[in-house]
Structure 1
Amino acid sequence: MGLDISTTEGLDGVGQADWDRLADGDDFYLSYRWLLTLEGDPFASTYCVLARQDGVLVGALPVYDVRVEGSGFYAPGRHRRALTGGGRWLVAGGRRGHHSGILLSGEEPRRRATLRALMEAGLRLAGERQARGLVWMYAPTRVARWLHAEGASVAFDTVEACLVADGWDEYLAGLGGRRRKGTMRERRRFEQAGYDVAEQPLSECWPALAELVANLQQKYGHRTTTEAMRRVLAPQAEYLDDDSVAFTVRWEGRLVAGALQYRFGDTLYARMIGFDYDRLLNAYEYFNLSYYLPVQYMERTGLRRLHLGIESARVKAERGARLHPLWTVALPCDGSALDTAEHCVAERSAWRERYDERVLPAQDWDVPW
């Protein structure tokens, strides 16, 4: 029986169990509840292209028509400089989290047929919205391979970091001798500082955490405000509280540091971190909240992977992470091929020259484009 393809506004009419069966524990930023947190944006229209076979959901693709983009990481200039040139594009596969994709089930050839049907429906939607085509930002290699095989153009964007460890001892054993000693020193200093350290659901701390995150963003040149961060965190506290863990640090009863992460499948996803810089005790708070407390939490809860996202890749690699490429993928409505910007080619080559396969897994970097 053939595929039934439909397009809905948002997740309307799609059950969470059916959707997350496709995400299958490996695509938090395509999970049902994560996507719910994005639907309230007044500056973007959300669509879901759905494929069903015999009434069963076998494929799904979120698509966003963005009128105003508030994040520089998703600004149109980013993907236009990489690959897509001018024109207006619909953002496919995810709009936050620096990770995008497409949900498919089954083996070949059914998966390929579903992929083609979703792509065709997505391009029809782009044409109806007077857009030039679809663009995936921050697509992992698996997704880029699928789309490239169907004629999409691909350009290197950046790297994301992921740390794999079955416990604290294994994590330490995987570090070099000098880094291992430094890690143990940083952990002792933090433990001796006398902080009140806790693990909390997001609902218990999000207003105060928003202020700390805004502090960090402002320190590094972003124009984020506390109120803006509260608008981001409020829907996450509503929809994702059961999946959340906030590592919180208090001094004299006041929250001075916090790191928000989410559990999904066998992975802990690091989302944001923030500090009250004036009240810190110079006890390696960043590294403890970003790496050491999460690794110890993973050991206790049976998780194996710590997804660390983009930026600060060198520091993450030094602390045991492997670096995976993320790609800009564009699919024009007219079927044309797009040229990759020279700076993307140079940046990709620079990563390959800097690290070997211990840090850059070959299956992600050895690609046909």
Structure 2
Amino acid sequence: MGDFTHADLKTHNCELKSDISHSIPYIDRHEWDGLTADDNFYNSYGWLASLEDAQGPTDFLTVYGSSGLLAGCALWAGEPEGPMFSTQALFPSMSEQWGNKFLWGGARRSTHNEVVCTQGVSRRNALRRFFYSAQTYAGERNLSGFLIPYMPLKRALEIVRYVPETHALLHSAEATMPVPRGGLAEMLGSWGSHERVRSKAEIAAFEKYGNRTRWLPLTSDLDESIATLITNNRSKYGSTQDRQWMIRNLQGQRKSGVIHSAIAVLAERENKVSAVTVFYKFGHSLHARYFGSDYTLADNDFRYFVLTYYLSLEYAAFHGFRKCCLSTSALEAKAKRGSVIEPLAVVVIPCKSPLGREAVENHNRFFYEDYERRFRSNLSADWKTITN
């Protein structure tokens, strides 16, 4: 673990110290998780440690003060040829300004990232020190800059206020479901007749095909069957990782201990598992991470919607969770079933030529207008902040 000391990190608070750690065990777990917000599960210590165990170590940029850890984030290279973790894929209209060699922050392949950071009077200087250190670190490697993707817009705009050289660009959205105390029944009662009838019909179809459900912790005896179902679903949507890749991830989660926060709901027919959704409990939030299915059963029993949306509401309400976090895919389907669509942005600090302010504003305006047309009443209030 090396001290990250540079002559000019553009902050006048000399008591702060930046550091690069080459693996997460060098960082104190209790300090890290003490700064991790409920919604930031995929940047929690246990999840990051599980990724290291399954996929290899990664660097971490941290900021320390006299009281200990103040800010931190995992670093990685993105996926330059991928559809979700490359700047050219996320921002094709701005590719000439971006280049495609950035230092990426956040958990590997995470679609929700926040900087792990202290609250209170030290927060502003900690974030400044963090981003200027990341800029310097990227510049020393002749990269175009540093960015963190899939960040909630309100967090991204906070950073832009505190760190003048940063920009926030909308690029995606995530679905969340507020959890009423009465669970699914209360949620259905709040909908219009069309949505209520459709959802009840989907639940009836699921039951008609003989599906039964069980909630189970992710014990090792389930790894093979669950990994097979999840790989089926990932392969359907273009993933090239095989079943062993998924098993390694589950084993990594077991080693880090984060598996103890997992809960799976299984659909079964005649003693055979037909589908599964895996959730993770963190603070007041329930996070849906994996869905898997047996696609040899081709009938339309709405197993995805029943397991991931309807049953999660029942489970979350019973256990006192405040919301279900449903990630970034299939937003139209999630919005039709009661989800709120929340904006996600890239926060970027360039090392070389700055991004043009007009280009950033135009991009964000067009992105917002597109989502306003598509989702209208399902958009969260945060969307309006990008136009203010």
TM score, norm. by length of structure 2? 0.85
Instruction: Give how far 1:189 is off.
Output: 3.2
Q: Is 2:177 aligned against 1:159?
A: no
Q: Is 2:152 aligned against 1:132?
A: no
Seen in structure 2, the aligned counterparts of structure 1 residues 275 and 312 have a Cα distance that, compared at 3 Å, is same
Q: Which secondary structure does the structure 1 equivalent of 2:174 belong to?
A: strand
1:78 is matched with which residue?
A: 89
Q: Is 2:272 aligned against 1:254?
A: yes
Paired AA for residue 229 in structure 1: M
1:279 is matched with which residue?
A: 297
2:6 is matched with which residue?
A: none
Instruction: Give how far 1:106 is off.
Output: 2.4
CA-based RMSD of the aligned residues comes to 2.6
2:375 is matched with which residue?
A: 355
Q: Is 2:308 aligned against 1:290?
A: yes
Instruction: Give the conservation status (yes or no) of the 8 Å contact 2:146–2:348.
Output: yes
Residue 247 of structure 2: which of 225, 230, 238 is its match?
A: 230
Deviations 1:20-60 (A, max 9, x none): 11013231111111111222466x86222222222422221
> 1:232 and 1:348 mapped to 2: Cα distance?
35
Instruction: Give how far 1:134 is off.
Output: 0.4
Instruction: Give how far 1:76 is off.
Output: 4.6
Gaps of 5+ in 1: none
Q: Which secondary structure does the structure 1 equivalent of 2:321 belong to?
A: coil
Seen in structure 2, the aligned counterparts of structure 1 residues 92 and 301 have a Cα distance that, compared at 3 Å, is same
1:333 is matched with which residue?
A: 351
Alignment of 1:160-239 (within 5 A): 160-166=174-180, 167-203=183-219, 204-239=221-256
Instruction: Give the conservation status (yes or no) of the 8 Å contact 2:86–2:100.
Output: no
Seen in structure 2, the aligned counterparts of structure 1 residues 349 and 245 have a Cα distance that, compared at 3 Å, is same
> 2:76 and 2:177 mapped to 1: Cα distance?
30
Q: Which secondary structure does the structure 2 equivalent of 1:202 belong to?
A: coil
Q: Which secondary structure does the structure 2 equivalent of 1:205 belong to?
A: helix
Instruction: Give the conservation status (yes or no) of the 8 Å contact 1:82–1:341.
Output: no
1:112 is matched with which residue?
A: 124
Instruction: Give how far 1:214 is off.
Output: 2.1
2:26 is matched with which residue?
A: 13
State how many pairs are aligned: 365
Seen in structure 2, the aligned counterparts of structure 1 residues 115 and 221 have a Cα distance that, compared at 3 Å, is closer
Instruction: Give the conservation status (yes or no) of the 8 Å contact 2:169–2:363.
Output: no
Paired AA for residue 161 in structure 1: A
1:244 is matched with which residue?
A: 262
Instruction: Give the conservation status (yes or no) of the 8 Å contact 2:103–2:138.
Output: yes
- Most deviating of 5-14 and 266-275: 5-14
Seen in structure 2, the aligned counterparts of structure 1 residues 41 and 187 have a Cα distance that, compared at 3 Å, is closer
Deviations 1:40-92 (A, max 9, x none): 466x86222222222422221222245x6685321353245365521411101
Q: Which secondary structure does the structure 2 equivalent of 1:181 belong to?
A: helix
Seen in structure 2, the aligned counterparts of structure 1 residues 100 and 313 have a Cα distance that, compared at 3 Å, is same
Seen in structure 2, the aligned counterparts of structure 1 residues 106 and 156 have a Cα distance that, compared at 3 Å, is closer
> 2:246 and 2:329 mapped to 1: Cα distance?
19
Deviations 1:205-245 (A, max 9, x none): 23212221222233334434323333343323433210101
Gaps of 5+ in 2: 1-13
Paired AA for residue 308 in structure 1: L
> 1:238 and 1:362 mapped to 2: Cα distance?
39
Instruction: Give the conservation status (yes or no) of the 8 Å contact 1:82–1:344.
Output: no
Instruction: Give how far 1:303 is off.
Output: 0.8
1:39 is matched with which residue?
A: 52
Paired AA for residue 375 in structure 2: Y
2:68 is matched with which residue?
A: 56
- Most deviating of 281-290 and 159-168: 281-290
